[in-house]
Amino acid sequence: MANYKEKYLSITLLTVLLVLLYSSCDANSVPNREVEALLKWKESLANQSIIQSWVTTPAGGNATVQSPCKWRGITCNSAGHVIEINLAYTGLRGTIEYLDFSSFPNLLRLDLKVNQLTGKIPPNIGLLSKLQYLDLSTNSLNSKLPISLANLTQVYELDMSRNNITGELDPRLFPDGTSPSKTGLITLKNFHLQKTLLSGRIPDEMGNLKHLSSLALDWSHFYGHIPPSLGNLSSLTYLGLSGLQLSGQIPASFGTLNKLTELRLHVNNLSGSLPEELGNLSSLLVLHLAVNNFTGQLPQDVCGGGKLVNFSAAFNNFSGPIPKSLRNCKTLYRVRLEYNQLTGNIDQDFGVYPNLTYIDFSYNKLSGELSPNWGECRNLTFLNAAGNMIGGQIPDEITQLNQLMRLDLSSNQLSGSIPAQIGKLENLFSLSLKDNILSGPIPAELGGLSNLESLDLSMNRLSGQIPGQLGDCSKLQSLCLSKNRLNGTIPYQLGKVPSSFSSLRSMVALNLSYNNLEGPLPDGNFFRSAQPESFSNNKDLCGERQGLKPCIAASIEKKKGKDHKHKIVVIVASLASISIFLVGCIWISAYICRRSANQPKIESRPEQKNHLSVCHFDGKLMYKDILEATKNFDEIYCIGAGGFGKVYKAEMLDGQVFAVKKLNSHSHDDIEIQEVNSFKNEVAALTEIRHRNIVRLYGFCAQRWHSFLVYEFMERGSLAKTLSNDVGAKELDWGKRIRIIKGVAHALSYMHHDCVPPIIHRDISSKNVLLSSELDARVSDFGTARLLNPDSSNWTAVAGTLGYVAPEFAYSLAVTEKCDVYSFGVLTLEVLMGKHPGEILSFLHSSSDDQKFGLIIDVLLDPRLSPPKRQELEDELSFILSLAMLCSQANPQSRPTMRSVSQQLEARQFQGF
Ligand SMILES: *[C@@H]1O[C@H](CO)[C@@H](O)[C@H](O)[C@H]1NC(C)=O
Ligand SMILES: *[C@@H]1O[C@H](CO)[C@@H](O)[C@H](O)[C@H]1NC(C)=O
Ligand SMILES: *[C@@H]1O[C@H](CO)[C@@H](O)[C@H](O)[C@H]1NC(C)=O
Ligand SMILES: *[C@@H]1O[C@H](CO)[C@@H](O)[C@H](O)[C@H]1NC(C)=O
Ligand SMILES: *[C@@H]1O[C@H](CO)[C@@H](O)[C@H](O)[C@H]1NC(C)=O
Ligand SMILES: *[C@@H]1O[C@H](CO)[C@@H](O)[C@H](O)[C@H]1NC(C)=O
Ligand SMILES: CC(=O)N[C@H]1CO[C@H](CO)[C@@H](O)[C@@H]1O
């Protein structure tokens, strides 16, 4: 037995040895070539640890070359042939130009995704005739697509997305003699952009890759028509062509792709109506058509297969009805149809969707009523039906949607009352029912919305009192109840809203104007920081603030009974104004007129109504201190120059630091004597502005020789300065840049929409955006333009920085908010690009539709930062870019308002296709 065992063992060993010997003999021919090819490639790459294991035995060792099969990233078959090269996600640097593909006849998989590869894709890649899987995505390959790819007929998955890859301009690809230069994109070279970037078509030959199951060319640089030959890819399950500049129609041949589960065509220039055949795609789970220029109807059978999960067609010109097949499409998870011309009756078009989390069909022409069925879509977190012609009442059933975070039914024709049970939606953070014909009271139950941040019920017919329970909404940041029929007093409980004031959000908005409210304003920051105009056009409001009569009287009156009402009011009112005045003096002197202890005391002069006149008085002292602190405006203290004069850093003896803007003498001369009063009022209003993204103005001092504005000092200086040097630019990573853009948008929105009359900046530029120590944006010089030039026709004389001034200014002197919107658009591009967009701006506008700039985002982005790696970040940047394009349109009417911009930026986290 033992003998037999030994024999058996030795025979086996022998066989194994023989096999090994045999295979190593065989390996001598092919694997040597493979090893040589890999080593040659390694040599061409910079020294890096990933490929350190790629070594042969040291010299003096066995003459035979070591097998590569144990090298990192290399897999062999049993015969020792390399079948897979996988160095994905290794940070590999270099090019694949020196990788000789002819040496790998057995290669099945080549996976180099998410690395730092540059250079070209070698044309001989077509020799990998057995290749099944090819992924070179997310690199910096800068190449045309080799036409030889068409020979890789075994490939079932091909991903080259997120590269600098363009289509080959090989004439063989354009048998009809069409030249890409006819599309006009070649004009890019005039702007010295990477001119090859935007050129190229998807080669027709792609249609030969019969086994392809996934083709992703998203967010690269292809243009032209979609080759109908792609319809031959009958195994295709995924086709991603989003974020390109494709034009023309979707080929009817797509109707045969019946294995397709995911079709992404969003963010292109596609147009025309959809081929009816698209309805045949019965396997579809995901269909994205958003942000194109499609017309005609949506495919009626889009959910014919009953599997559709994610459907977006937003931002097109689709008309006609909502597809019939959507009604029973229970699988739906996410639906976006907003901004089209869809018509029809929504109570019949939509059904019950147990898994639906997000639906937006806002800004269409839909009519009908909200069906109680919506209450059955229990997973809904976002419902936006704004801007349609929806009538009837808000169904009570909607209050069953306890996952709901955002509900927007604004700008419709909803009537009846607000269902009280809405107060049960404890996840709701934004509720807008604005601009409807809702009547009845505001339900006290809304106080149960503990997560509510924004409530807009304005422009309705709501009556009765504001329920005190709203004060329980401790996260409320924005409350808009204007243009209703609300009466009674403002409940004091609102004064405690929001508890976290000044913590996170910058925007605190309150608007109660155009109602029948009376009585005192509640205490608290919410009310203190609101603009006086938030309370205008009411019955009889009072409070210690501009524009309202003081009302200490009212409370005393309540205690003492109702006699002698008028007498008391008069006496108390004058007492109050004196004390307000005194408080004002103290407050101002505390800030800017410090160090008065050894100086003559401020004398209160009751006849002076405006506390700024005191500042004038005390300004003499301030004046002296500032002259001292800046050594008589010595240049060494100069930290910048703005539209109206130079800015100096003034470090006072007590350690406080201010930025002092010394006005050019001519600016000062412009202030006519008769304007002095309105001027003071303006300054008073401006010094009251508190906004996280606006540089605080402490006051103004005018003297015979100099006059200056005293501002909060911002250590990091201007955005322009930071962007202009490489260190600063790198510190401003994408996240910080996005925050800066949002900050400026919030500041502008606040000044345009929460101040009445609106305050227009008129000189938004990167020099006027300062950075806090946390690199948050603070807009400076707000209101200075109006302050110094109340007559807007005089604008050119002072404000506006070349390159940021809206074009309409050339032919019309009208200064509107839209001028700021334009400058904001330019500024946003500058933040993304790291430099002023210059002529590129007009190119961008001339080349294509405004919403489609995602595709060139990586061309534009500041090259000093590494491109965004995460998809969400890239999407966000594309979105911001498209907003910037909207803002910088030539036609002021087409530009969005800053409120809408600011809200869209905030709402971003709940969107995305
Ligand atoms: C494709 O393969 C065929 C045969 O192997 C060869 O003749 C042809 O040149 C290849 N085409 C390309 C574009 O490489
Ligand atoms: C993209 O390609 C162009 C020229 O083809 C080149 O100049 C540019 O540097 C490339 N960009 C990246 C990010 O590789
Ligand atoms: C809803 O989603 C769940 C989990 O994803 C899934 O199992 C279920 O089939 C879906 N329901 C419908 C009707 O699609
Ligand atoms: C829908 O909600 C139910 C219950 O909240 C949950 O179990 C289910 O997973 C949700 N479906 C999806 C697709 O999220
Ligand atoms: C407010 O208006 C309602 C009618 O809408 C009226 O009944 C009520 O008395 C008014 N309350 C006050 C305080 O004026
Ligand atoms: C969209 O299509 C319409 C006609 O179908 C055309 O008038 C319009 O110019 C197109 N818009 C863009 C941006 O291509
Ligand atoms: C010179 C040398 O190292 N030769 C070796 C080659 O490999 C065989 C088998 O592994 C050894 O027996 C030799 O000594």
Per-residue model confidence as pLDDT tens digits over 766-800: 988 999 988 999 998 776 666 555 444 333 334 46
- Which region among 144-148, 254-258, 515-519, 554-558 has the lowest average model confidence (pLDDT)? 554-558
Q: Structure tokens of 753?
A: 């929409």
Residue 220: band (very low, low, confident or very high) from pLDDT cuts 50, 70, 90: low
pLDDT of residue 745: 96
Inform me whether the pLDDT recorded for 590 exceeds 50: no
Closest-CA residue, ligand 4 atom 9, reads: 355
- Indicate whether 314 pLDDT > 80: yes
High-pLDDT (> 70) share of the chain, % = 73
Strands 707-712 and 777-779: unpaired
Return d(Cα 268, Cα 243) in angstroms, integer: 6
Q: Indicate whether 517 pLDDT > 90.
A: yes
Q: Which residue has the higher pLDDT, 531 or 175?
A: 531
pLDDT of residue 904: 83
Q: What is the pLDDT of residue 563?
A: 42
Going by the DSSP 8-state scheme, the letter that residue 808 receives in this structure is G
DSSP code, position 690: -
Instruction: Count CB neighbours of 615 within 10 A.
Output: 29
Best probe residue, ligand 4, of 379, 382, 427 (max atoms within 8 Å of C-beta): 379
CATH 3.80.10.10 fits 46-55+66-207+215-221, yes or no: yes
For the annotated catalytic residues, the residue numbers are 763
SS (H, E, C) 186-209: HHHHHHCCCCCCCCCCCCHHHHHC
Q: What is the mean pLDDT of residues 832-850?
A: 71
- Judged by its nearest atom, the ligand closest to the C-alpha of residue 859 is 2
Q: Quick one: average pLDDT of 271-284?
A: 92
Say what the pLDDT of residue 322 is.
Answer: 95
Task: Decide: 126 in ligand 1 pocket, CB within 6 A.
Answer: yes
CATH architecture of the domain with range 429-435+450-550:
Alpha-Beta Horseshoe (3.80)
Question: Distance between CA 500 and CA 474 in Å, rounded?
Answer: 8
Does residue 268 have a pLDDT over 90?
no
As to burial, measured by CB atoms within 10 angstroms (0-12 exposed, 13-18 middle, 19+ buried), residue 475 is middle
Tokens linked to 779: 């807009």
Flag whether pLDDT at 380 surpasses 90.
yes
Lowest mean pLDDT among 564-578, 677-691, 701-715: 564-578
Residue whose pair of structure tokens reads 């007559």 in the numeric block: 791
| CATH H-level superfamily of 619-712 | Phosphorylase Kinase; domain 1 (3.30.200.20)
Residue 236 Rama label (left phi>0; alpha psi -120 to 50; beta):
beta
Per-residue model confidence (pLDDT) at position 108: 93
Q: Which of 111-115, 206-210, 743-747 has the lowest mean pLDDT?
A: 206-210
Q: Which residues of 61-89 are buried (b: 16+ CB within 10 A; e: fewer)?
A: eeeebebbbebebbbbeeebbbbbbbbbe
The per-residue pLDDT for 318 is: 97
Does residue 864 or residue 506 have the better pLDDT?
864
CA-CA distance, 300 to 277, in Å (whole number)? 11
So what's the pLDDT on residue 669? 47
- Rounded CA gap, 457 and 474, in Å? 18
* Ligand nearest, relative to CA of residue 334: 4
Q: 234 or 680: whose pLDDT is higher?
A: 234
pLDDT given at position 503: 34
Strand 93-95: give its sheet, edge to edge: 93-95, 116-119, 140-144, 164-166
Find out whether the beta carbon of 194 lies less than 6 Å from any atom of ligand 2.
Answer: yes
The residue whose CA is least distant from atom 4 of ligand 2 is 194
Q: Is ligand 2 within 6 A of the CB of residue 199?
A: no
Question: How many A from CA of 654 to the centre of ligand 1?
Answer: 82
Per the prediction, the chain carries an average pLDDT of 77
Range in 71-75, 311-315, 477-481, 497-501 the model is least confident about: 497-501
Q: What is the pLDDT of residue 642?
A: 62
171 lines ligand 7 (CB under 6 A): no
Ligand 3: does its nearest atom lie under 6 Å from the Cβ of 331? yes
SS3 618: helix
Q: Quick one: which ligand is closest to 485's CA? A: 5
662 is in an annotated binding site: yes
| Total length of the chain | 913
Q: Which of 16, 24, 56, 62 for mutating ligand 7's site (highest number of atoms within 8 Å of CB)?
A: 62
For the CA of 126, the nearest atom of ligand 1: 14
Integer Cα distance of 876 and 30 in angstroms: 49
The ligand 6 atom at the shortest distance from the C-alpha of residue 850 is: 13
Helical spans, DSSP H, in 799-851: 817-833, 840-847
Region 583-590 average pLDDT: 37
Interstrand relation of 157-159 and 478-480 (parallel, antiparallel or unpaired) = unpaired
| pLDDT value of residue 30 | 53
- CB of 718 within 8 A of CB of 770? yes
Max CA pair span of the chain: 128
Listing DSSP states for 723-779 in one string gives: HHSHHHHHHS-HHHHHHHHHHHHHHHHHHHHSSSSPPP-S--STTSEEE-TT--EEE
Supply the residue whose CA is at minimum distance from atom 9 of ligand 5: 464
The correct CATH number of 720-907 out of 2.130.10.10, 3.50.50.60, 1.10.510.10, 3.30.160.270 is 1.10.510.10
Residues with CB under 6 A from ligand 5: 463-464, 487-488
> Residue 879: pLDDT band by 50, 70, 90 thresholds?
confident
514: left (phi over 0), alpha (psi -120 to 50) or beta: left
* Pocket lining for ligand 6, CB < 6 angstroms: 271, 293, 295, 849
140-144/116-119 β-pairing:
parallel
Which H helix or E strand runs over 683?
A: helix 676-687
Cβ of 379 closer than 6 Å to ligand 4, yes or no, is yes
Q: Where are the chain's structural domains?
A: 46-55+66-207+215-221, 429-435+450-550, 619-712, 720-907
Average pLDDT over residues 475-498: 87
Q: What is the DSSP letter of 716?
A: T
Regarding the beta carbon of 842 and ligand 4, being less than 6 Å apart is answered no
* Closest approach atom of ligand 2 to CA 196: 5
Q: What confidence score (pLDDT) does residue 75 get?
A: 93
Closest CA to 909 of 392, 405, 362: 405
Instruction: Please state the φ and ψ torsions of residue 136, each to the nearest 5 degrees.
Output: -115, 20
Query: What tokens does 834 get?
Result: 């790291």
Which 3 state secondary structure label does DSSP give 323? coil
205 lines ligand 1 (CB under 6 A): no
CA–CA distance, 629 with 442 (Å, rounded to integer) = 56
Per-residue burial over 669-703, b = 16 or more CB atoms within 10 Å of its CB, e = otherwise: ebbeeeeeeebbebbbbbbebebbbbbbbbbbbbb
**CB–CB of 874/866 below 8 Å?**
no
Q: Are 209 and 148 in contact (CB under 8 A)?
A: no
User: Of 338-342, 418-422, 450-454, 608-612, which gets the smallest average pLDDT?
Assistant: 608-612
Measure the CA–CA gap between 679 and 337, rounded to whole angstroms. Answer: 49
Mean pLDDT, residues 80-107 taken together: 93
Confidence (pLDDT) at 580? 47
Q: Is the pLDDT of residue 445 over 60?
A: yes
Asked, colleague to colleague, whether 46-55+66-207+215-221 and 619-712 share their fold, the answer is no
Starting from the CA of residue 163, give the closest ligand.
2
Q: How confident is the model at residue 372 (pLDDT cuts 50, 70, 90)?
A: very high
